[in-house]
Structure 1
Amino acid sequence: MKSLSDVSPAVLLRVLQDTDPALASQVRACIETLIARNRDLDARNARIELERDALFAAIGRQGIVYDADGRVVVAGPTGENRIARSLSGTRDAPLHHPDGRPVQPEDLPGHRALRGEELESCRFVIPDRGEEEIYITVSASPIITGKTISGAVVTWQDVTGEEKARRHLEEANTLLEGLFENLGDIVGVQLPDRTILRYNRAGYEMLGMTPEEVKGRRCYALLGRTAPCTVCATGSAVASKKREVVEKFVPELGRYLECRSSPILDEKGEVAFIVEQLYDITDRKRTEYELRESEATARALLDAPEEMIVLLDVEGRVIDVNEMAARLFGRSREDLIGASMPGFFPPDVEEVYAARFHEVAETGRPVRFQDCREGQFYDVVFYPVRDAYGAVTRIAVTARDVTEMQRAEDALRKRTHELNERVKELSTLYAVSRIVEQPGISLEGIFRGVARVLPSGWEYPEDTVARITVYGCEYGTEGFRETPWWQASPIVVHAETVGMVEVCYLRERPEEAEGPFLADEQALIDRVAGRLGRTIELFQARENLEKSESQFREITQRSFDMIYTCYHEGGIAYISPAVMRILGYVPDELIGSKCQDLVVPSSLPAWEEGRTKIARGEPVEGLEIEFYRKDGSTAYLELNESPIVREHSVIGVHVVGRDITERKQNEQLRRQLFEQIERNIEQFAILGDHIRQPLQVILGMTELLEEGTATERIQEQVERINGYIRELDRGWIESRQIREFLRRHELA
């Protein structure tokens, strides 16, 4: 069976009547009521649609109604037009945002309203597809029944004409703003009370301010003033209500300005705004001032120079002259004006001047030449003066006395030549120095190199040859030969002449200070000879030094004493082979180490005292220091030290160390012997006293006994012991004498 929703009311009634007549009558009544209500609803719906279309037409909008599922229920009043298709999402009618981004289907106004959004006058664009682009404003609202969104209403308005008008207005405003900002003259808008509303770019640049710094301030305040200008075009324009123009100098800006103030009247005829135009007329004012003074200035310019100035017409007649020309010709300015220029010179000179004059008049190019008469030199210039059409109508003639300048130039040329010769000489000396200072070069190489570069220092190097003779050996340039034009200087070594430096010209040259040679060339050859002499001395000294160093090295290598050199920064730099015998080290083992590391701690105070003296630049003699040997035993060394001084600073020390270990041991043995002698002397004295007293007692006791053999025997033994004691006394005396002798001779 079909669904009841698909069955008409009439069929439904017949079914019910067949089933239950009583129920059918009740249902009929209900159905008839419903059908009547539906007719009313259809009529109301048709009326609402008519009212809706009339409302859309009245407000100039169109609309679309969606149901809750997003289906278009109504699109009117013209549902098939391009806008309706775009808003409903038809594929062939896309919708774009104003920035060109396409609107996605889910972002269409109707769909957004169905999600509960309210859209108010959103702007969209329907792109051009062979037709004109359409600009619309769209509003969308959800339809809420109860608390549920049951549909949505979208309305739109075509604003294409408004958009075009807006764009035209923006373009016009942009053009007007560009014209205003880029005007070369200064334009400003201000209120009648002189409050600035704005300036164009030229105004801000003149003031050196930004628009924010200018806006709202009075025009005179921008110049640092507290009151309006005395002469003010704006004040006059406000009073007269018509355009006013004034010219004034503005000291704050250092300019002359022409101020034009034009009032803008409101509907009541009152001044609402003032448009102020400022023109920089500084150049014009200065030109006017210069024009007023031009005649005086021109006259001053003509009369000020010390050279003669004459202005001629194309016929050669004088139009004007300066005071110098009048003095030179011996006539007044009034007499000279109108006269013919060629008549002022002798015939031979007049011909030269006339030829130059005609050349300038015909070619229109300036001519310059030098006039030499009676030992005087004049620099003369004929200069054409053209009119507005380029034709030569005047010729200006200037003549300047350059006699002193000419003489100075001659002197300068001569001096320049001399300086060039000095430069050549210095270059030669530099080349000689470079040869001499070349590393590893021999004396023979130096002599050959110097002889080769020597001719370049003379005035005529192409005709110069040179030769150096030292200890009978000759070193010369190619093609050297002696000529009458000869110059020489001796080579002196340790006050003894050992050779000669010679220079010759191969052909005759003009006479100079010393024959064909300059005075400075003799000084040059003397300096070269002196340098060679000092170089020979240096080589000899170097050889002697190498011999001395070799001898010193041999002495140090064979020296019985230990010799070493130690620097503060690098430690031991050299130590002689004697260190092997004294301390047991190979010399290479101690290079770079510090001597202090080998000193026994008990000797460190004496060592530091020696270092202090060395730091003061004082030598140290007889410093006794105990060192550790490589095998751990110790050795005494007597050190004699001298500081190494460079640029007033102590940088190290030279040390000669002598092994005094045996001497120190002997000294220790002598001290022990002396101490033993002291003890013996003391024991002799004590022993004599200890024995002598008991013997006296024994001898006294024998006197109490009877004489007899025993008594005699005891007395004999006592006397014998006394003899021993006297021997001890003599030993004590001798021991004291030995002690005094040792002390006297510093042996103890």
Structure 2
Amino acid sequence: MNYNSNTSKLKDDLIKELNECKRRVSELEKIEVERKKIEKELKESEERFRKMFEISPDLLALVDKDGVFIEANPAMRRSLGKNPVGKSIFEVLPKEVAEKRMKRIKGVIENNEVVTFEDSRDGREFVNTLLPIILKGKRYCMVIAREITEIRKMNKLLNTINEINSLIVYEKDSKRLFEKASKLLANLRDCYSVWIGLRENDDVFQIAYYGELKPHLEKMAIKDLACFSEAINERRAIIRKKEERVKTCPFYDPFKNHSCLILPMNVDNETLGFLVIYSTYILPASDEIGLLQTLANDLAFANRAIELDEAKRKAYRQIEKNIEEFAILVDQIRNPLSIISGTAELEVKDEEVRRILLEGVGRINEVVKRLDKGWLDSEEVRRFLRKYLT
């Protein structure tokens, strides 16, 4: 009896132990499934991060506390012109830029803080974000940079165009308008000098210039300048890179290192002149050229408007002079008529002759009255013109 009891208990214990093992195995299987799931998710996450890192247009890099590049995405490598991995930032960047960035990188890692700042290198401008990151127990600095050179250029160009548009509204002298416009454009970073000339028959005359070295003569024949002729025929901006100017530009020698952009000043299906920009840098992109061409056309329209306004003022001055002479002429007619009338009544004895003379004087007086009325009407016209043209 005792034997059977012990056997039964042992059996029950074994069953319990077996069930416990099964439960543990089941839990382990679940843990293994969960582990594999997590591993898969981590791998997928890592792959997504790696793809994002590789294809990101932003400049991305991982740098250690000594300023050595651990990782760099293709955008960063393209921007630097080399693969910086394994190199110190002092080997990759200009000394002054490297020193400032190294100081910021150390601060980010030591203080565990995020820093955003702007700087420049080789004439290019960047906005940078540095953030601390821990990988395998070690602290690193993640660099996220974006080049803003073109944005800044476009913003400055738009501001300059807005200033010139304000001048177009308020400036009533073409020469002053062109001089101020050329100065504003020449102050853009990419512009070495700006020249503006207006057409007169088959020649072009300089109206305004601003820059380091005067590139053109005061007067030039269009037929001698292939770029001007092309701009007239095509009615669009013409680009002449410095390499091309060797063959085509008569002003190549003093401007060996400069490319130029020729913008025809078009209005009413006519090219009034040219806006020429010389640059030591890369010439503007197509969207910037589009804005500059619109500006050149606006300047042409302003010039035409100023010419028309001056013509109106000149016409008004002539009308005013004519009206004054008209009044004097009427008085000069009226005074002799009074003398003729008085003389006829007092001195002419022949009644028929006197009648004929007085009738003639009467007819002339009627004409003078009509002239007087015309003068009054002209005065109304003069007051109207004076209101809008003076």
TM-score, L = length of structure 1: 0.22
Higher relative contact order (CA 8 A, sep 6+): 2
TM-score, L = length of structure 2: 0.37
Q: Larger % of strand: which?
A: 1
Q: Larger % of helix: which?
A: 2
Structure number with bigger Rg: 1
